[in-house]
Structure 1
Amino acid sequence: MRDLFMQAVAYTSMWLAQREVFAYRDEALQNWTLPGGVEEVQATVLAKLRVALDYARSSNAYYAGVFASVGFDPLTMRGLEEISVLPIMTKDDIRRHRSDFEACESMNSHRVEGKTGGSTGQPLKFSMSRDDYLRSVGIGLAGWHFCGYVLGDRVGVLGGASIAKQDAVPWHISRSDLALNRRQFSAAVMDDNRIAQYWDYIARWEPAYLRGYPFALAELCRHRPKGCAGHYRPRAVLTTSEMLTESDRHIIEKALGAPVFDGWGLNDGGASAYECREHIGMHVDTTRAYVETVDDAGRPVWDMPGRIVVTSLTNKAFPFVRYDTGDMGVLAWRGCKCGRSGLMLTQILGRCDERLNIGGVRTEACAGSWLTDIDRVRRWRIVQDGPLHITITLDVDAGFDKRASEEAVTLSFVSRCSTVSIAFVYAPLPLPTDGSKWRSVVVLDSARHQTRVVAEKHA
């Protein structure tokens, strides 16, 4: 009865304040199940893309100049691939032409201000038109629907500034938290005392779903006090904001006895994707943004690793066109066993600035998938500190099989570059104390510079 009452409260609150959200939720769900499958989804995206790009050209002088310089007319587009004539846009491009974007913002008085978390070292302030913002909420509800969530179900949120307030604790409840039946747990402080307090609250409140940063959720699971909340089993766990490693998925699912549903998204560009019960990738929403993966020359690539770029379809306050998200992934147009079809994000490979360049060989780094004893690994970090040298720090429990794991990781790197040198360090790796996202892979600026110098000598 309590859940039914809170579902009614949450639905009523949302209807009174933002009733458009429900139409956008239904549109997103229907778009994944169009009778024409992939072809109909692509045709729908193309029609929206023409309108969005024409608006960007007419409302923003920067885009008008870019389109004219390559002879691009969005209204004559016959296929999605034609957008590839446009250059990739970066945060630096936006900063250099900020006045053009501000002029566009000024035409949308009911906009919602936003900013990126700055995990790339380049935070960005931007805006969303009210319609675009409400779409983001509706699409989020559609994506959560995959794991069975109903608006008003109890949700515990553990993370940093991108999903929870910096100083949030569940016993200080805001009006919106109360109306949505949500409690926030800040990841800024994750010592033994705070984790024990969180588990005590979780045991009493019993949220139906937990949502948060993968590393923070894994840390919560590793340090559950003995005998505390042993009976607690959420219906599902939703991860977001960081790359979910297989080791973290394993730890969370084993500790909580519930499936993990991964998600990916960003408001700067309006892209989002959600994992369904098949767990073979994430379904990309194409009602709010068009998402591509591109090679180093900016050409679209499918079914292979590429940089993820996004074009917003509904943000009239701050249009993003072929915006570089900074993420690497694999995209494919296909159907899924769950019955949905369209664009799928089959792999997230991390940040572009987290790719290693060892001896001229670019490679993704995911030690979590190579370690042979992941149950005893708390956290790991790879640092490239030279053109041919990496340091791998492992925070492990007693009994960890060092020899087998070191051999497996070394073999993986040596198979890519035979001259690479690897140092293994075993030491504690505390979570960030400011609630920021965890970085598993770090490439030092000095290593980037040395790698460029070596490449230039051999050019």
Structure 2
Amino acid sequence: MDWFKLSLQLNKFPITRAMNVLDDIQKISEAHYAEYQEKKKREIVEYHLKHNLFYKDFSEISQFKDWESIPVMSKADLQQPLKSRLSNTFSKKNVYVGKTSGSSGHPFIFAKDKFAHALSWAGFQDKYTWYDIDLNKSLQARFYGIPLDFYGNIQERLKDLISLRRRFNIFDLSEEKMEAFLERFKKSDFDYLNGYTSAIVLFARYVEEKGIKLKEFCPSLKICIVTSERLFEKDKRIIEHAFGVPVINEYGASEVGLIAFENKQHQWIVNSEDLYLEILDKNDRVLPFGEMGRIVITSLYNKAHPMIRYDIGDTGMLSKKSTVKCPILEKLIGRTNDIARLSNGKVVPGLAFYYVTKTIIEDNGNIKEFVIIQTKIDEFHIEYVSSKQLSNEQRKKILAAIETYVGKDLKIVFERKDVLKRSPSGKLKQFTSLI
């Protein structure tokens, strides 16, 4: 049974057609690849100019002339009700709707048409085969969070079951929990790990301190895929030593899908099939290969919602060895997260706050930016920029979510600000620990 394929088909995502289209794209030669990209870029812009009033108003152009005149979109531009951003050929009932994690401090709700979403998954499936991982058959040890409310929890576990994923809850990474993790590897034939970098690094350190190798307990293990947070070289060495398998870097974003994936030659191969990636300077000019700049992405197939010259909030550089068909991401200054340590010994990775931010993401554009700062062992500050103060009801929801996902008896201080402090690169870091 092809479980991965079945799960997408049950949700009416045309994965078979997407895989066929992906195969056709990959057959395009290097000599003709620029022509393919230029055609798709023009098509997606013209489609949204015709069918999307939001994009027409945003772009302030009436027709496609040249790519350089297309404006760059920021996350702040998309912080308004989703209904107003959808193309008139779609509705919320026939698209995939998701929420960004807010790891860059700019959360928002987005949509993808079902073919574009299927094509994203076809890309993941294709890249995983580089390491003999078949999403229809390979069992995944999934180091992610999970909704703790009844219906959200059940829904996620059902998706895990159908998609051959076994969830390791990262909201509590105490030694007791990691010992339980280790026991699960002893009893299951996992093919690979996949999850947040910080959580996997903590587990690897625990395994290393035990003086064992994870692959000895789970011989079926092939690779470890880390995502969502930057992987430092020293942490990569720790994981590979502790687990006894290669560590693969995956770079993606929920709103656009797979951006780059590490091959066996340790190169980050950019997804040039359904995405178009540019490196821009501060004046929105395209930089040549070998120069650092802002990563800007265009989703070439998403007709439901414009993701055109979209500034994802990261900084990177394309290798001088890049080609049009095979760009290589040589450097990425991406999203890194600290770890929260509580007085009871509980350890929580920074991205666990993703599940807290869900409670303050409202589809009305009120919350523009936010950061969470741990100032003391039992105190956290939530700094935010919004058009109006958080209501008492909103604060109660946030406090309840923190109690559920992080811990009890914590002091939470809300601070509304006009602007938030940024790093020298201009990025916001969603979570920072000062202890």
- TM-score, normalised to structure 2, is 0.70
Structure 1 stretches of 5 or more lacking a match?
Answer: 1-6, 77-81, 355-378, 382-394, 396-427, 453-459
Give per-residue Cα distances to partners, 1:69-115, cap 9 Å, x unaligned: 5xx732x5xxxxx4222222112222368664146475564111111
Are 1:222 and 2:205 counterparts? yes
- Secondary structure of the residue that 1:133 maps to in structure 2? helix
Question: Partner amino acid for 1:250?
Answer: R
Change (3 A) 1:271 1:207: closer
- The residue correspondences of 1:215-364 to structure 2 (distance < 5 A) are 215-224=198-207, 225=210, 229=214, 230-233=216-219, 234-280=221-267, 282-303=268-289, 304-332=291-319, 334=321, 341-351=325-335
Over 3 Å counting, the alpha-carbon distance change for 1:100 and 1:175 in structure 2 is closer
**Aligned counterparts of 2:9 and 2:80: Cα–Cα separation in 1:** 40
CA RMSD after TM alignment: 4.0
Correspondence for 1:24? 18
2-structure distance, mates of 1:451, 1:298: 15
Is 1:211 matched with 2:194?
A: yes
Q: Please give the alpha-carbon distance, in whole angstroms, between the structure 1 residues aligned to 2:123 and 2:9.
A: 16
Amino acid at match of 2:288: W
1:418-429 equivalence runs, <5 A: none
Greater Cα shift, 130-139 or 174-183 = 174-183
Q: Cα distance 1:118–1:156, how it changes in 2: closer, same or farther (>3 A)?
A: same
In the alignment, which of 102, 124, 143 is matched to residue 140 of structure 1?
Answer: 124
Length-normalised TM-score, structure 1: 0.67
- Structure 1 residue 179: deviation in Å? 3.0
Contact between 2:8 and 2:14, CA under 8 Å: does it hold in 1? no
C-alpha contact 1:271 1:290 (8 A) present in aligned 2: no
- The alignment status of 1:156 with 2:141, answered yes or no, reads yes
* Superposed counterparts of 1:327-406, under 5 Å: 327-332=314-319, 334=321, 341-351=325-335
- CA drift of 1:25 comes to 3.5
1:368-422: CA deviations, max 9, x gaps?
xxxxxxxxxxx989xxxxxxxxxxxxx9xxxxxxxxxxxxxxxxxxxxxxxxxxx
Shift in alpha-carbon separation, 1:285–1:216, aligned structure 2, 3 A: same
Amino acid at match of 2:157: S
Q: Residue 328 of structure 1: SS of its match in structure 2? A: strand
AA in 2 matched with 1:155: Q
- Determine if contact 1:118/1:124 at 8 Å carries over to the other structure: yes
1:45 aligned to which of 27, 32, 37: 37
In structure 2, the partner of 1:73 is 63
For structure 2, which runs of at least 5 residues remain unmatched after alignment?
355-370, 375-382, 384-418, 427-435
In the superposition, relative to structure 1, how do residues 93 and 149 fare at CA in structure 2: closer, same or farther (>3 Å)? same
Bigger Rg, which one: 1
Partner of 1:364: none
Identical-residue share of aligned pairs (%) = 22
Q: Aligned residue pairs: how many?
A: 357
1:194 maps to amino acid:
K
Equivalent in the alignment of 1:195: 178
Q: Name 1:127's counterpart in structure 2.
A: 111
Q: Secondary structure at the match of 2:122?
A: helix
Higher RCO, 1 vs 2 (CA within 8 Å, ≥6 residues apart): 2
Q: Compared with structure 1, are the counterparts of its residues 251 and 108 closer, same or farther at alpha carbon in structure 2 (3 Å cutoff)?
A: same
Cα deviations by residue, 1:157-202 (Å, 9 ceiling, x for unpaired):
1023xxx55689x9x9934333332201121111111111011001
Structure 1 residue matching 2:307: 3-state secondary structure: coil
1:265 is matched by which residue type in structure 2?
A: G
CA distance in structure 2 between the aligned counterparts of 1:19 and 1:320, rounded to whole angstroms: 19
Cα shift at 1:207: 0.5
Question: Structure 1 31/331 Cα, relative in aligned 2: closer, same or farther at 3 Å?
Answer: farther
Q: Could you tell me how far 1:137 is from its partner in structure 2? A: 1.5
Task: Note the alpha carbon deviations across 1:336-365, whole angstroms, 9 max, x for none.
Answer: 9xxx952222221125xx8xxxxxxxxxxx
**Structure 2 residue corresponding to 1:63, chosen from 50, 55, 58:** 55
For residues 312 and 450 of structure 1, do their structure 2 counterparts lie closer, same or farther at Cα, with a shift above 3 Å needed? closer
Aligned mates of 1:129, 1:258 — CA distance in 2: 36
Looking at structure 2, the residues matched to 104 and 270 of structure 1 have their Cα atoms a distance apart, in angstroms, of 23
Give 2:275's aligned amino acid. A
Q: Which residue of the partner structure matches residue 174 of structure 1?
A: 157
Going from structure 1 to structure 2, the CA distance change for 1:429 and 1:346 (only over 3 Å counts) comes to farther
1:386 alignment partner in structure 2: none
CA contact under 8 A between 2:142 and 2:194: conserved in structure 1? yes
